[in-house]
Amino acid sequence: MSVLHTAHLRARPDAVELYKARLLRHARNSLEREPGGCLRFDVHQERDDPTLFLLIEVYRDEEAFAAHRSSPHFQEYREDTKDWVSERQWWYWTALELPAPSGAAGKEDR
């Protein structure tokens, strides 16, 4: 089963541009160095608060996620950015299955 992981990371105001550049490099490295393991790595910056970043990551399975966390490029990223990030929050998501179609085309949910 795939792993969907999201994170909110807040950079220090004086380090936003440095952090953004390093974070984008980390996302690219994850996709290129973990083919088939890291399936998606999106990086977003909050419109009204440029210190806040949202990461959306998808890994093939728990093993791929663990390999990512122990990879040299992840360890380098964490070391490089340790003084630039002031807050970190992580979430791990479980996919919910949509119910089977009711078979009645055109009927609204009741």
Q: Alpha-carbon distance 1 to 94, whole Å?
A: 9
Q: Determine the pLDDT at residue 8.
A: 98
- Which of 49, 39, 31, 29 lies closest to 2, judged by CA? 39
The residue ranges of every structural domain in the chain are: 3-93
The whole-number pLDDT of residue 55 equals: 98
CA distance 2 to 109: 29
Angle CA 51–56–45, to nearest 5: 25
Whole-number Å distance between alpha carbons of 103 and 91: 35
CATH 3.30.70.100 holds for 3-93: yes
Q: Report pLDDT for 103.
A: 73
The per-residue pLDDT string of the chain (110 residues; one tens digit each, 9 = 90 and over) reads: 899 999 999 999 999 999 999 999 999 999 999 989 999 999 999 999 999 999 999 999 999 999 999 999 999 999 999 999 999 999 999 988 889 998 755 555 55
Partners of 5 in the β-ladder: 57, 92
